[in-house]
Chains A and B, each alone.
Chain A
Amino acid sequence: MIEVRNLAVAFDGTKILRNMTLSLPKGKLTGIVGPNGAGKSTLLTAMGRLTPIHSGEILFDGFPIGDIATASLAKRLSIFRQSTPITPRLSVRDLISFGRYPHTQGRPTGADLLIIEQAIARLDLSEFADRYLDTLSGGQRQRALLGMVLAQTGDVVLLDEPLNNLDITHARTVMRVAREEIEMGRTVAIVLHDLSIAANHCDHVIALKDGQLHSSGKPEYVLTNEGLSDLYNTKVDVAEIEGRRVILTV
């Protein structure tokens, strides 16, 4: 679905990503992990064509992502980003409705309205649907923004640290929603800090370190004692409790 070849990304002459070659397996949930500053968000936003590429290429369905018209790419790829604060005073439903904009250009049909209501329900936002975003907590706002990305119904869904600010209940909700997306045939990549979540929920893991690919593959091969200790330069243990793999960082 998405292939990255020899990618380099630079800001002000400093390379954030180097020699990166990897792919997001189609129809799989890929977790992107690594220490702070490893380039996880940069990789994700480059794949979402929000960060300009220095060299190399990113292919979407075989085509260079930069060659696909913004409007048609928006129907097929959606990206959630942490950094953007929302200034307009919109209700949760209004915001999520804008996720349909690439498909409707502002003229939603009954099917679009259904997708919007489903996105609201899937992220447990029904009781806030008519509230303004500025009256909600940070976590609730974040789920609303995720709702907008869901409503966009892209074949590829990129999520940059969607679990930050969320309590465990809602973190589980988001991971459940990510799995539902896979079941609908979509490809999902998700930047995670919680390695236990990566180990138990993801089909595939990409580990980055210092702007380069450290390792990638199935979680049980990447998220090991040695692999993680080397990735984070600190001792990390992997335990198994009731069939679930738990990454011990204490």
Chain B
Amino acid sequence: MAAKSGIIAILTGLTLVSCFTGVSSLSGDGLWLLFYSRLPRTAAALLAGASLAVAGVIMQMLSRNKFVEPSTAGTAQAAAFGLVVITLLAPGAALWAKMGAATVTALIGTAGFLALVRRLPPHDPMLVPLTGIVYGGIIGAATTFLAYERDLLQYLDIWINGEFSGVMLGRYEFLWIAGILAGVAYLYADRFTIVGLGEDAAKSLGLNHKQAMITGLSIVAVISAVTTVSIGMIPFVGLVVPNIVARIYGENLRQTLPIVAASGAGLVLACDILGRVIRYPFEIPVGTILGVIGAAAFLWILHGRARHG
């Protein structure tokens, strides 16, 4: 319980800091700035962080591998591919249509990844993320090629490099869908943990394995699509947060999913604040900050795993 109040205190502190961190001061038009920019930006970071961390832990249960998350399983790349395609086919499409297209391709891309992973030999867990990275790389390359051919590279850059500086009231609200889905995932917490025990164990316990897989996949795909469309890809959150939480609290999702969500929210918001102050008054995108911090944390996790066998 001490952990719970600690996490809440940290999140509250970060929220306050986030509201007061930026180039313009809150004096003068402060209230306007607070409501139109700072609060939405803070909410966006919290929602994206929480939902991406949850998406990561779901992916890890579905693929039964600790080193998988939407950005290393082709999910995020497939969402970006869908965005490029819909932008080419219907340049004026509404945001929800883009979101829909990105969700569909993210779903197909992730299902493709899981089908691929099932064929891998089970004894080498590192093959799974490596396959995912190559698979995501291929989809990413196809996306880049398509965007390059049709002069859409600038758009692509926005979707690939996640950042929050463009977030304003009225331009981030789709992220609430991701946040709500992270909450819905909690209702399925037991089922996802059981899927993590393996298909046979799940069947023996009377779980509808296929239905649980499809539910998990859909949640992951929508979260990835919504975050990619709204703010761009944010790497490593879904990988690093669940692994660290698992080290301390285990992986019984019914108990740990709220901790995963809160830690993801805190990590992304902290990285966004860091990005705002490191080269003040300029900003460093949160995706870049997390790329550095996340990669370091990932290496540390791998190192620890190698040591413990």
Contact = CB atoms under 8 A, between A and B. Distances in A.
Contacts of B254: 106
A105 B246 CA distance: 23
A191 B222 CA distance: 45
B206 A89 contact: no
A140 interface: no
A116 to B, nearest CB: 13
Contacts of A99: 205
B197 A102 contact: no
Contact of B205 (A74, A86, A88): A74
A70 B205 CA distance: 8
B66 interface: yes
The prevalent SS among residues of A at the interface is mixed
A101 interface: yes
B13 interface: no
A111 interface: no
A88 B203 contact: no
A101 B194 contact: yes
A88 B206 contact: no
Contact of A90 (B189, B205, B250): B250
A90 B200 contact: no
Contacts of B206: 70-75, 101-102
A98 interface: yes
12 contacts: A48-B204, A50-B203, A71-B207, A74-B204, A83-B200, A85-B198, A87-B198, A89-B250, A99-B205, A102-B206, A106-B254, A152-B204
Interface of A: 45, 48-50, 70-75, 78-79, 81, 83-91, 94, 98-99, 101-102, 105-106, 132, 134, 149, 152
Interface of B: 61, 64-66, 122, 189-190, 193-194, 196-198, 200-201, 203-208, 246-247, 250-252, 254, 308
Nearest 8 A/B pairs, CB to CB: A74-B206, A71-B206, A88-B196, A88-B251, A106-B190, A84-B198, A102-B206, A89-B251
